[in-house]
């Protein structure tokens, strides 16, 4: 039996308006990454990425996204991520944003360690953006609970209803 090695790309969602919190789901990010890979690399890119790619983690407050891909396809994913210019909002429209790659790791644990360290550095600036105490407490809980999502990661075909 062959073991597939994976890489995990941690990226930050950067929106035009820093004050708004957008409701971004794993499915939306997966579709955006898949569409841009199809635009740039065609059927070959989709053939490479469909079996091994998934969105493992997303946090709407810290705007962090973790995408898993197979190790041999990392360069194609890394070349496609900067070309994402918008995400669908779920109402037929789109909001402008882009993804900034922050870290590439060989395991989820390594990415989590890096993410915790990064969140500790960014926490003061994130708390300044909050307008109410309730929002600050949700932000703190979200940052201190830097674990992988409680829900099942979304991959095409697996969660279709």
pLDDT tens digits, residue range 1-50? 677 889 999 999 888 766 566 678 888 899 899 999 999 999 998 898 88
* pLDDT 10s digits, 44-98: 988 988 888 999 988 877 788 999 999 998 999 999 999 999 888 767 778 888 8
In-domain check, residue 111: no
* pLDDT 10s digits, 85-142: 988 876 777 888 889 999 999 998 998 888 888 877 877 777 777 778 887 787 777 7
Q: Which domain does 96 fall in, by range? A: 6-106
- Residue-level pLDDT at 11: 93
In-domain check, residue 115: no
In-domain check, residue 30: yes
In-domain check, residue 135: no
Of 12, 24, 21, the residue nearest 67 (C-alpha): 12
Query: How far apart, in Å, are the Cα atoms of 133 and each of 85, 127, 129, 136, 139?
Result: 32, 10, 11, 5, 10
Report the number of distinct structural domains present in the chain: 1
- Who has greater pLDDT, 137 or 155? 137
Q: In CATH, what number is assigned to the domain containing residue 50? A: 3.30.70.3250
In-domain check, residue 133: no
Residue 63: exposure state from Cβ atoms within 10 A (0-12, 13-18, ≥19): buried
- Residue-level pLDDT at 36: 93
In-domain check, residue 21: yes
In-domain check, residue 59: yes
Of 87, 103, 92, 93, the residue nearest 16 (C-alpha): 87
In-domain check, residue 145: no
């Amino acid at each position: 039996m062959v073991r597939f090695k994976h890489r995990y790309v941690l990226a930050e969602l950067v929106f035009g308006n820093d004050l708004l919190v957008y409701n971004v789901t794993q499915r939306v990010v997966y579709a955006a990454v898949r569409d841009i890979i199809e635009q740039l690399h065609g059927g070959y890119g989709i053939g490479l990425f469909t079996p091994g790619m998934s969105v493992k983690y997303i946090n709407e407050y810290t705007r962090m996204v973790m995408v898993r891909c197979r190790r041999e396809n990392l360069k194609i994913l890394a070349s496609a991520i900067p070309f994402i210019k918008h995400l669908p909002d779920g109402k037929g429209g789109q909001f402008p944003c882009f993804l900034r790659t922050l870290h590439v790791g060989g395991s989820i644990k390594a990415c989590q360690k890096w993410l915790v360290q990064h969140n500790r550095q960014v926490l003061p600036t994130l708390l300044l953006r909050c307008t109410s105490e309730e929002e600050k407490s949700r932000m703190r809980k979200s940052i201190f609970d830097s674990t992988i999502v409680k829900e099942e990661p979304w991959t095409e075909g697996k969660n279709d209803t």
